[in-house]
Amino acid sequence: MTPWSKVSGDLQLKGLSEPKVINIKAEHLCKAIQEYIQLMLAHGGELKNLISELLCIANNLDKVSKGTKIAGITGGASSVVGGVAAAAGVILAPFTAGASLAITVVGAGVAAAGSVTGASAAIVNKANLNQDNKKIKKNLQEFKDVYEKLQSCLKFINEGIDLLKHHGVSLLKDMMDENMMDSEKAASGVELAVGEASAISSQSSISASGMLDGFAIGMDYYFTKDGKKVKKGLESKLAKKLRTLGEDLELGLKELNDTKDVFSQYV
């Protein structure tokens, strides 16, 4: 989109009449609104999916953290039970002609199984968290890239509405009433500028970008220096932060969709 400063400068150089200037500005505004709608149609689903992935990662972190703790407890208990059974088998062997050695074998097997359970959980935990670290960073960047495009478009629209209002709402309404608009696009732009829906804000986009940047910086607290695993005991805390971020982004996305719906009434 051509910056408003350049549009206004070009119009001044041409020495156009005020109604003509209004028409040109209104057309630029309408084009920006159409671009915003197209961006939302093209990327709204993508933003929703990225939020869902962040929430899924949070759930996964909780499950892995809980599963590892349970596996550790289960594995430890199995090892204790297996150790007791093995000891009992050895002690009873002289009195049972060696028949109790079967208990020793079973006990050793249970103990080994307990160790494997704990070790397997630890391996799965590490693998999952390694993948989640990469996914989180990728999702945050992709979300931010799309959000900044929407933010830029909304900023342009807000500036355009303000520039039209500087000509005076009464003049804009008179031009509409007297059919002085050069095109349907120009009419739509002016209609939006003088309507109740003109107070569109890009604050949600700005806040979302700030949240994403802040979260990305805070990631170092939860992951080790090499970024390969979550620091011990911080899995559930990271999950909570991710879930909060996801919920905030959902609210921001709803605002953007609501804005799209409002714009769709004018173009």
Q: Return the C-alpha torsion angle 241, 246, 247, 250, nearest 10.
A: 160
pLDDT confidence tier of residue 66, bands split at 50, 70 and 90: low
Q: Is 226 within the bounds of a domain?
A: yes
Taking a C-beta distance cutoff of 8 angstroms, is the pair 211, 248 a contact? yes
Q: Which of 239, 211, 44 is nearest to 140 (CA)?
A: 211
User: How do residues 120-142 score in pLDDT, each as one tens digit?
Assistant: 444 344 445 556 678 888 999 99
Q: Is 165 within the bounds of a domain?
A: yes
Give the C-alpha separation, 146 to 119, whole Å. Answer: 41
Structural domains in the chain (count): 1
Task: Point out which residues pair with 223 in neighbouring strands.
Answer: 230
| pLDDT value of position 200 | 67
CATH code, domain carrying 241: 1.20.120
* Direct distance between the N- and C-terminal alpha carbons of the chain, in angstroms, rounded to an integer: 18
Q: Is 75 within the bounds of a domain?
A: no
In the predicted structure, residue 50 carries a pLDDT above the cut 90: yes
Q: Is 8 within the bounds of a domain?
A: no
- The lowest-confidence range among 24-38, 60-74, 154-168 is 60-74
User: How do residues 154-208 score in pLDDT, each as one tens digit?
Assistant: 999 999 999 999 999 999 999 999 999 999 999 999 998 888 667 665 555 456 7
Mean pLDDT of the chain: 77
Q: Is 201 within the bounds of a domain?
A: yes
Q: Which of 225, 165, 203 is nearest to 22 (CA)?
A: 165
In the predicted structure, residue 43 carries a pLDDT above the cut 80: yes
Taking a C-beta distance cutoff of 8 angstroms, is the pair 173, 194 a contact? yes
Q: Is 103 within the bounds of a domain?
A: no
**How is residue 178 annotated by DSSP?**
T
Give the C-alpha separation, 120 to 70, whole Å. Answer: 12
Q: What is the domain extent for residue 153? A: 17-65+134-264
Taking a C-beta distance cutoff of 8 angstroms, is the pair 164, 24 a contact? no
The two three-digit tokens of residue 111, written as one number: 């103990």
| Cα–Cα distances in angstroms (integers) from residue 173 to residues 36, 164, 181, 183, in the given order | 25, 11, 11, 15
Q: Is 246 within the bounds of a domain?
A: yes
Q: Is 82 within the bounds of a domain?
A: no
